[in-house]
Structure 1
Amino acid sequence: MAEIKYEITKEIGVIAETPKGWTKELNMVAWNNYPPKYDIREWDPEHIKMGKGVTFNLEEIKKLRDLLNSLDLD
């Protein structure tokens, strides 16, 4: 399997933390030398190991924001 290259270009925020110290984060990540995308996934404390995640381009993250804003969470 080919090595996956990544660079976290901007740390936006932590969504949750597990008892083992892993954090679910929203970041901007450049994968395999492509332009950065919005990325939600779990990371170990050193940002070396990662869990499965999902990436969004700008239009997708705007749509996600709009969908979340439309939810009645009360």
Structure 2
Amino acid sequence: MSDIKFEIKEKVGVLSESPKGWKKELNLVSWNDKEPKFDLRDWSPEHDKMGKGITLSTDELKELKKILEDMKL
């Protein structure tokens, strides 16, 4: 399996942190030199390891924002 190349273009925010220092972050990430997308996943303290996550286009993030605003939390 080939290596996955990534570059964090912008750190948007941290949602939580585990006792081991891993952080669930929303970032703008370029994967394999492609157009950056919003990315939500767990990252190790050095950002050299990552958990499974999701990537969202700007339009998808806007739709998610609308959904969250309509939720009764």
Superposed CA RMSD in Å reads 0.3
Report sequence identity in percent. Answer: 52
> TM-score under structure 2 normalisation?
0.99
> TM-score under structure 1 normalisation?
0.97
1:37 matches 2:37: yes
> d(CA) in 2 for partners of 1:8 and 1:46?
12
**Alignment length (residue pairs):** 73
CA shift at 1:9, angstroms?
0.1
CA shift at 1:63, angstroms?
0.3
CA offsets 1:4-36 (integer angstroms, 9 cap, x no match): 000000000000100100000000000000010
The residue that corresponds to 1:22 in the other structure is 22
Structure 2 residue ranges without an equivalent (≥5): none
Runs of 4 or more, structure 1, over 3 Å off, are none
Structure 1 residue ranges without an equivalent (≥5): none
